[in-house]
Structure 1
Amino acid sequence: MLLTNSVYIALGSNKGLKFENLQAAVDAIHQRIGSIKRISKVYQTPALGFGDATEVEDFFNACLHVETELRSNKVLSELLKIEKQLGRTRSAKKNYESRTIDLDILFFNDEQITTKLLSVPHPEIENRRFVLQPLFEIAKDYTHPKLELTIETLLKKCEDDSTIEPVNIWLKNPIKNFDFKAYNYIAIEGNIGAGKTSLAHKISQDFNAKLILERFADNAFLPKFYKKPERYAFTLEMSFLADRYQQISDDLSQLDLFKDFMVSDYDVNKSLIFSKVTLPEDEFRLYRKLFYQVYKDITKPDLYVYLYQNTERLQQNIKKRGRKYEKEIKDDYLEKINTGYLDFLKSQSELNVKIIDISDRDFVKNREDYLWILNEILD
């Protein structure tokens, strides 16, 4: 899984439709950089350092807390692109100029970064009330990694006495457009290497969901199965069935009052699908009887999402994650599993199924692909 970075961003505009400029920047940051966790109020502040301030419009300022999988230099690059997209032309002049949008990285994790293009923490934070006031709203206890003082303390000590007034309009967080309230339990399914665990992780982080992950790595029979499938197939499938039943029963019965819903990276039906591929006919018939005895007692997901990827992409993903025991997986095995899933889903009447083809998508590296998948799930 990619690591999540915490970044605080300051936004400002004193040219054109100022509030609309800020909202457009928020929307673009959500689309291209990461999940917006908190948004401050918008504050109207005087334009400092512009010479004759009577001829310059006041600024609208705000701050965001964003979680992103991008590195600091990539975040900066995207912010500059957003500024350009929204009509800002950076000038080589040293004096201040009015701008449609101004986007600055204030903090990136607890790092201290000094490059030709980027200085983090932002060197003027402690001197700017128009930054500290909105930042105080969303991160008053955050400690400046260089000054070792909290934002609350920095605001109290700030000598900038300029007038700052809140604007009675709120910026909207685009993540609120994705509404999972209709579901208590979502199962993300797919073939080996389809990305179901990655997607379940991202949804749980962005939407305050309880995460249920399959404990396949603890199964001692899995490496043996890939080496000698005929010898260990039945043992493997029985051990998976027992473990999946136990885990899903335990996790679904344990309510978490602080989470909004549950998301898992598997559904117990995968036991039936895989066993049909791996077991000879007589063993599969026996296994199926045992499965249905177990299955009738298990809570069904409100939404079953199947991530389809073609075999070539599956093999690429399997190779990337580098699990030794998966090196021997053949194309025809993956194709049989895909066929097994699709045949199973076509025959379903009791599950609410959504099949999403992500063969041409990379939602781990490309945030726009991730947002596309969310739209597909909730469409």
Structure 2
Amino acid sequence: MKIQRITYLSLGTNQENKLENLQNAINLIDDRIGGIQKISSIYKTQSWGFEGEDFYNICIKVSTYQQPEILINSLLDIENDLGRLRSNEEGYQNRNIDIDILLLDDEIIFSKTLIVPHSKMLQRKFVMIPLAEIAPTTIHPIEKTQISVCLLNCDDSSEITLIDGQLKRPTPISEKYNYIAIEGNIGAGKTSLAKMLSDEFNAKTVLERFADNPFLPKFYEDKERYAFPLEMSFLADRYQQLTDDLAQFDLFKNFIVSDYYIFKSLIFAQVTLQKEEYLLYRKMFDLMYKEITKPDLYIYLFQNTERLLENIQKRGRDYEQSIQSSYLKKIHNGYKNFINTEKSLNLLIIDVSEMDFVNNPKDYKYIVNKIKHF
């Protein structure tokens, strides 16, 4: 189980477009480190410990699952990606971005690469003033004193000026959506992505109970005979599951993510049922659909047919091994028609044909950022 930590970071810059430097750092921290919960005002100070341009400084509050050693390396990578240049000269220097870890929960860390709480934070007004703004009652783990009190005890006489600039806090997924539904063809990776999102963002999962359907193995053996009872049983089960699970929101979870949506029933029924059966089925579907909670975001994972067949073979479900590419193409066309006609859903299509988001963290992060910035 991942452990979520709260960390407070100090950001400073005294080169080029300072507001842009800070915003770029905030965006990358949100993408790579974790959700940003608070951003302080921006404070201007003279360069500290050397002659240089004035600094803009802020503090931010971030929730992260990263371990301390990974966190410091991630922040160094962000500094490098934003163009920070380090020299071998001693003392303080100009910098386009500087990111320091001030606090990490109530942990005390002394290692070769990281000291937490930051060893010099209590001596610096440009750190303590913005930190006290966003975390006045947070306890310094060594001083055993609130940050607001530590600020009063700071004897730094530097002049600090509040400026009018404003920085944008990226909206976390947990604040943006209450319910995300993930859809796609057989073997597209719906369940894998739902579980990964749930694990990272503390979401409640609603996973399709296909393994419990007694008609499914029989359907792949004799589609014409078992299509109608299969689709009706799926529709009833999906309706009951979504109705029950979406109504019972877990107070300890941030949002809900499901690996299917009720429209899946209609798409598969169009492919498998005869005309008369489908008309009867559609009447039942329309009655149920009116009562189902609509997702805030509907994600469709597109996977090409060749990759779908590979994924189906890899997961090794016996009753799926006879699935033909023609059947998968029919299902895709059903989704395509649905996407083109259903205008009421907040729809995000992600092509994952060339991705391996289960085993490649960069692919997974790409998908997460697509969701964040959609």
Partners of 1:160 and 1:196 lie apart in 2 by 50
Q: Secondary structure at the match of 2:60?
A: strand
Seq. identity, %:
44
Match of 1:197 in 2: 194
Q: Does structure 1 retain, via aligned residues, the 8 Å contact 2:313–2:321? A: no
User: 34-43 vs 154-163, which deviates more?
Assistant: 154-163
**Is 1:44 the equivalent of 2:44?**
yes
Match of 2:298 in 1: 304
CA offsets per residue over residues 181-211 of structure 1, 9 Å max, x none? 8x99753323453345257649977xxxxx6
1:271 deviates by: 3.4
Q: TM-score, normalised by structure 2?
A: 0.71
Partners of 2:106 and 2:21 lie apart in 1 by 29
Q: Secondary structure at the match of 1:133?
A: helix
Q: Does structure 1 retain, via aligned residues, the 8 Å contact 2:183–2:298? A: yes
1:143 deviates by: 3.0
Partners of 2:313 and 2:135 lie apart in 1 by 41
Q: Does structure 1 retain, via aligned residues, the 8 Å contact 2:15–2:95? A: yes
Question: When the two structures are aligned, how many residues end up with a matched partner?
Answer: 356
Match of 1:345 in 2: 335
Partners of 2:356 and 2:3 lie apart in 1 by 16
Seen in structure 2, the aligned counterparts of structure 1 residues 113 and 244 have a Cα distance that, compared at 3 Å, is farther
Q: TM-score, normalised by structure 1?
A: 0.70
Q: Secondary structure at the match of 2:145?
A: coil
CA offsets per residue over residues 82-129 of structure 1, 9 Å max, x none? 333444322333322232221112233444433322222322223322
1:169 deviates by: 0.9
1:307 deviates by: 1.1
User: 156-165 vs 36-45, which deviates more?
Assistant: 156-165
Match of 1:8 in 2: 8
CA offsets per residue over residues 238-296 of structure 1, 9 Å max, x none? 6653343234345667899xx9998654311223456778x897997686665454335
Match of 1:18 in 2: 18
Partners of 2:5 and 2:311 lie apart in 1 by 23
Seen in structure 2, the aligned counterparts of structure 1 residues 260 and 229 have a Cα distance that, compared at 3 Å, is same
Q: Does structure 2 retain, via aligned residues, the 8 Å contact 1:274–1:337? A: no
**Is 1:125 the equivalent of 2:116?**
no
Seen in structure 2, the aligned counterparts of structure 1 residues 174 and 313 have a Cα distance that, compared at 3 Å, is farther
Partners of 1:93 and 1:334 lie apart in 2 by 66
Partners of 2:351 and 2:117 lie apart in 1 by 42
User: 220-229 vs 342-351, which deviates more?
Assistant: 220-229
Superposition CA RMSD, Å: 4.7
Counterpart among 114, 136, 141 of residue 137 in structure 2: 141
1:43 deviates by: 0.8
Q: State the one-letter code of the partner of 2:298.
A: Y
Seen in structure 2, the aligned counterparts of structure 1 residues 251 and 92 have a Cα distance that, compared at 3 Å, is same
Structure 1 unaligned spans of 5+: 206-210
Seen in structure 2, the aligned counterparts of structure 1 residues 310 and 168 have a Cα distance that, compared at 3 Å, is same
Counterpart among 218, 242, 245 of residue 248 in structure 1: 242
Describe how 1:1-379 pairs up with structure 2 within 5 A. 4-50=4-50, 55-175=51-171, 187-191=181-185, 192=187, 193-194=189-190, 195-198=192-195, 201=198, 213-216=205-208, 221=212, 240-249=234-243, 264-273=258-267, 290-301=284-295, 304-310=298-304, 328=318, 330=320, 333=323, 338-339=328-329, 341-348=331-338, 349-351=341-343, 352=345, 354-361=348-355, 365-366=361-362, 367-375=365-373, 378=374
CA offsets per residue over residues 288-313 of structure 1, 9 Å max, x none? 66545433543555763311235786
Partners of 1:95 and 1:251 lie apart in 2 by 58
